Structure 1
Amino acid sequence: MPRISYGEQKYQEKSRHRRGLQKTKYYCQICQRQCIGENGFKCHIQSDSHIKKLKASLEKVHGNSTKLVEGYSNQFLQDFLALLRKTHGEKQISANKFYQEYILNKDHLHLNSTKWNSLTSLINFLAEKGCCKVEEEAANENDEEAEKRYTIAYRDMNGRKPVEVRAKNRKLGKTNASKSTNRLLEEQIRRGQEAIKRQEEMKAEEEKHIGHIERPKKESETRGKIRIKLSASKKTTKMKGISKTSLKVSSKNIFKRTRS
């Protein structure tokens, strides 16, 4: 078969096919080679170079093809989530749109070399593992045969928390802070009431103790009883004194009269 020259129409058609991205199902991950169509891909996987590289890759995993595919799957998942976190963070984005962003890099690890047969199976796996928040897009009511479309959002499982969880924790922290302040105020009020009650009890005990103490006796009580004499007795004494003198005088007069 003659070689196609540079300026021919067939050469331009092939070069047009090579521009941009090709179908991932015709990409050989082991050889890192992109084939144009199905026929080219079949010819490639039957070539000696592909078979040699395949044997070398299997020797690294001790002939376990499942382990080889698992390694590609883990690497693909790591690159996929890293790009999602870096470009969109925790915002919702269409899964198909983001996958187109992912395959813009021609050196990316292709989906056909992993254990997922389609993008839908990959999204379902991400939803089951909790790596992404997956939601189904609302389909048009008129288009009954439309395929299901999903939106994905990154969810960090290694330290950083999603936006919803952080907002919930922030709200919970505020409520806990308000509860702690209220609890502190209640504790202070309770302690103040106990202190007032304790002071009142001590004051009542002091007053009770003072009431039982005996007061010192007055001087009048220590000296004894005071006897009060009535004024009538004084008069009688005076009268008695007067009567005695008068009696003496009268007796003298009587003796004088007898002598005379």
Structure 2
Amino acid sequence: MPRAEVGTPKYLANKMKSKGLQRLRWYCQVCQKQCRDANGFKCHIQSEAHLRQMLVVGENAGRHIADYSSQFQHDFVQLLSRRFGTKRVKANTVYQEFIQDKHHQHMNSTRWVTLTEFVKHLGRTGVARVDETEKGWFLAWIDNTPKALEKQEAALKKERSTMSDEQRERLLIAEQIERAKAEEEEQVASGSGSSGSPPPVEEGLKREDGAEKVVLSLSTKRIAATTTAPSVGLKLNANPLKANPLKRPNIFKTTASGSTPSTSSGTKRPVPPQSAAERLIFEDQERKRRKMERDAA
């Protein structure tokens, strides 16, 4: 039976009957035709026009499904951004407003079978923030437009300018902690993917049982300044300012007054000198002493 011509009573009657939302399972996206019942949809898919369209779509079905999916996502996100903005709203509420348009892109022609899968896809791609509750799935649109980013940056600068130094430092420390956690998770993920060995665990410093104790003392030790007298037995002057550099010491006097070890006969003998010059002086002194003893005898 041919279609009713535009403007005829039959055409108007069909339009009045098809007014409002019909069953999605009786809608043909390829031909963009909405059927009112199962019998009408069965007759449509057996028609020659529908079969020709299906042959065209069958040549590259993946491309047509991808086009339908992108168009559906574009229209859905456009409604979400204009109608609700960045507010958190129930996903089914947005979908009910989306399908109120009779000529909207139907979901049965996309690669998503259910609304839940489509909402999860929006969350994975970063288009919206998605969370699941007992009442169902909720989503909030993420505004990534340049104007919104500039507005957020200006608000952040204003907030940081009014923020105190302590609050700014706490915020900076929190950001550094989050960045360190993210880097650690990435390192763990890369290490687990490359090799099965677990990452090394930092044990810190360990002290052995037999290790020697290290003692640190901050007190200063006084070093006694000791002067060693020469082996000849010369007396050093305690006050160097009073000493006369032109006056030479009497070697014989200092040698005679020096301490000598006691012999078996009770007489004290001087300690033999160490150097060659002192030895000659000592021998000369001994020779004169023996001569004086002989003269006295």
TM-score (norm 1): 0.51
Question: Which residue is 2:228 aligned to?
Answer: none
Pairing 1:35–2:35 present: yes
Cα distance in 2 for residues equivalent to 1:156 and 1:175: 22
Pairing 1:175–2:160 present: yes
Amino acid of the structure 2 residue aligned with 1:49: A
Which residue, out of 132, 137, 160, partners 1:150?
Answer: 137
The answer on whether the counterparts of 1:155 and 1:161 sit within 8 Å (CA) in structure 2 is no
Q: Would you say how many aligned residue pairs link Structure 1 and Structure 2?
A: 152
Change (3 A) 1:169 1:133: farther
Q: Deviations over 1:13-41 (max 9, x none)?
A: x9997442112122111111112233432
Change (3 A) 1:112 1:173: same
Which residue, out of 63, 66, 70, partners 2:66?
Answer: 70
Deviation at 1:46, TM superposition (A): 2.2
Mapping of residues 95-110 of structure 1, within 5 Å: 95-110=91-106
Cα distance in 2 for residues equivalent to 1:22 and 1:70: 25
Q: Which runs of 4+ in 1 moved over 6 A?
A: 14-17, 177-180
Amino acid of the structure 2 residue aligned with 1:44: H
Q: Deviations over 1:193-229 (max 9, x none)?
A: xxxxxxxxxxxxxxxxxxxxxxxxxxxxxxxxxxxxx
Mapping of residues 238-249 of structure 1, within 5 Å: none
Cα distance in 2 for residues equivalent to 1:169 and 1:137: 34
Question: Which residue is 2:114 aligned to?
Answer: 118
* Structure 2, unaligned runs of 5 or more: 1-13, 166-297
Amino acid of the structure 2 residue aligned with 1:99: Y
Deviation at 1:42, TM superposition (A): 3.0
Deviation at 1:107, TM superposition (A): 1.0
* Structure 1, unaligned runs of 5 or more: 1-13, 140-148, 181-260
Q: Deviations over 1:169-209 (max 9, x none)?
A: 724543257689xxxxxxxxxxxxxxxxxxxxxxxxxxxxx
Amino acid of the structure 2 residue aligned with 1:45: I
Amino acid of the structure 1 residue aligned with 2:38: E
Deviation at 1:84, TM superposition (A): 1.1
Cα distance in 1 for residues equivalent to 2:34 and 2:64: 20
Question: Which residue is 2:86 aligned to?
Answer: 90
Q: Deviations over 1:94-121 (max 9, x none)?
A: 1111111111111111111111001111
Question: Which residue is 1:54 aligned to?
Answer: 54
> Hey, which of these two has a bigger chunk of helix by percent?
1
Deviation at 1:68, TM superposition (A): 0.6
The answer on whether the counterparts of 1:92 and 1:153 sit within 8 Å (CA) in structure 2 is yes
Deviation at 1:53, TM superposition (A): 2.3
Change (3 A) 1:132 1:106: same
The answer on whether the counterparts of 1:21 and 1:106 sit within 8 Å (CA) in structure 2 is yes
Question: Which residue is 1:186 aligned to?
Answer: none
Cα RMSD, aligned residues only:
3.1
Percentage of matched positions with identical amino acids: 34
Mapping of residues 158-197 of structure 1, within 5 Å: 158-161=145-148, 166=152, 170-171=155-156, 173-175=158-160
Greater C-alpha radius of gyration: 1
Deviation at 1:124, TM superposition (A): 0.9
Change (3 A) 1:159 1:34: same
Cα distance in 2 for residues equivalent to 1:15 and 1:106: 12
Amino acid of the structure 2 residue aligned with 1:118: T
Change (3 A) 1:137 1:16: farther
Q: Deviations over 1:205-254 (max 9, x none)?
A: xxxxxxxxxxxxxxxxxxxxxxxxxxxxxxxxxxxxxxxxxxxxxxxxxx
Question: Which structure exhibits the higher relative contact order, with contacts defined as CA atoms closer than 8 Å and separated by 6 or more residues?
Answer: 1
